[in-house]
Structure 1
């Protein structure tokens, strides 16, 4: 006959196992999906990290597909919140999409640190990207053929850059890259290169030029004196309510609590 103590021990073990399984079944992780601009990666990553640390039951996902893809994902319900580094176009708004400006971001004009050029006008930048200026010596630099690097079609950074420099559908690019990080890496490795990228993502391995004599920084972006800048936008559907966790994350991103996080990530909060 089985020892009574042994029976009690087995029963207790079974009870503990049942409790563990029940606990696992009852614990759920809520997911909020974001999709879009690669330029917003640092800002969204910082907000995600802060929010998840205070809300252990929530996971924020970020899919860096580019602004156009993020807007399309929001329109087709493939994500909760789309991310765009440009304002919505009128035809996108007619699809039932709504935009909320999260922050302002400068588009930095980047060269290799070895390049002595420090300042270009918007007009000169436009002429470089349309192939009218092809050598750095024509703008005060070395005798090197300019390697113009840009982003792919659908990129919010490209859309903003071409709109400001009035070069839409005219750019002559030596390299067309699909992410902010790729542009920065390519410029850092080529003394003849010029590129553009979100100021929030710029690192010490490249040099950000002054434009029209104004350096890109938080002050000049906020007062609009730096001419090459755009909005970081949260995209949602007007007629569809967000899920409870998605709405709470959205509210957090536009709250006063998020201001220092956005600033630390290199962007300028709207508030």
Structure 2
């Protein structure tokens, strides 16, 4: 009989230990952030920093583009959507926008290109196909290879709104699915030109001044560099619960420091 009781007690102890291991995990809440690939690296850093001090929540960040971020927010699939373009009136319905800051769109060329400045009209002419050789804008006698983003990209939408003036990007442009892939394509092609996120710029691509103004944190902040767009978090309805706590932390000095370190100009 004693051995029987020992066996039962052993089973009970195993069950109790299992429950103690499982129950804490059941209390962890998941938060999904989806959308713009330009905003994604910043969102990942914010999420990682927040998770470090909040063991009761796990934040997952996924890209897919601003269009997906907006749709996922409206459909309730994502707790927070990411967008790197201004929302139109239909997109704004029942959506709370939290602006993380302003970010520039950089016109980038290969480091071997001698061009350092282009006017807005020249950029438009290149991207709509009216200018096809670099010699037409003071560069080498070389065919221009236009690199663009996919439809639904917030960077593309912002670029077309700021530069193209209802003109279409040429249909033969090479399409890339992220700002990093645009940068990679430009860095390996002497004839290439593309537009990309200021926050993602590095020395392997040459950034051009536009209408005589070089993109920088200062020129983006004061508005002198006009190719800029917002970085947005989107919430369906009003933020509540853990989402609201996270957003309040994002606006705290700790969150603002991370935003600034990512070359995003924070808003007050």
TM over 0.5: yes
1:255 to 252, 255, 260: 252
TM-score with structure 1 setting the length: 0.91
- Aligned-pair CA distance for 1:99: 1.6
Give, in angstroms, the shift of residue 11 of structure 1: 7.7
Deviations 1:69-108 (A, max 9, x none): 1101000000001100011101112x32222211100001
2:177 & 2:41 partners in 1: Cα distance?
A: 16
Deviations 1:211-256 (A, max 9, x none): 1121111111111111111001111122xx5452222112222223
Separation of aligned partners in 1, 2:8 and 2:209: 74
Structure 1 residue 40 corresponds to structure 2 residue 39:
yes
In structure 1, the residue matched to 2:163 is 165
- Distance in structure 2 (CA, Å) of the matches to 1:113 and 1:41: 26
Does the aligned pair in 1 maintain the 2:40–2:82 contact within 8 Å? Answer: no
Structure 1 consecutive aligned stretches of length 4 or more whose deviation exceeds 6 Å: none
**Residue in structure 1 matched with residue 126 of structure 2 by the alignment:** 128
Gaps of 5+ in 1: none
Instruction: Give me the whole-angstrom Cα distance separating, in 2, the residues matched to 1:13 and 1:264.
Output: 54
Q: CA RMSD in A?
A: 2.0
Q: Tell me, in whole angstroms, the C-alpha distance in 1 between the residues paired with 2:57 and 2:202.
A: 31
Farther off after superposition, 17-26 or 119-128: 17-26
The SS at the match of 2:161 is helix
Instruction: Kindly indicate whether the alpha-carbon contact (under 8 Å) linking 2:128 and 2:167 is maintained by their aligned counterparts in 1.
Output: no
Match status 1:63 vs 2:62: yes
1:20 to 13, 17, 20: 17
The answer on 1:105 being equivalent to 2:103 is: yes
Gaps of 5+ in 2: none
1:51 aligns with 2:50: yes
TM-score, with structure 2 as normaliser: 0.91
Going from structure 1 to structure 2, the CA distance change for 1:227 and 1:16 (only over 3 Å counts) comes to: same
Match runs of 1:112-151 below 5 Å:
112-151=110-149
Aligned mates of 2:154, 2:166 — CA distance in 1 = 13
Deviation at 1:25? 3.0
Contact 1:107/1:228 (CA < 8 Å) preserved in 2? yes
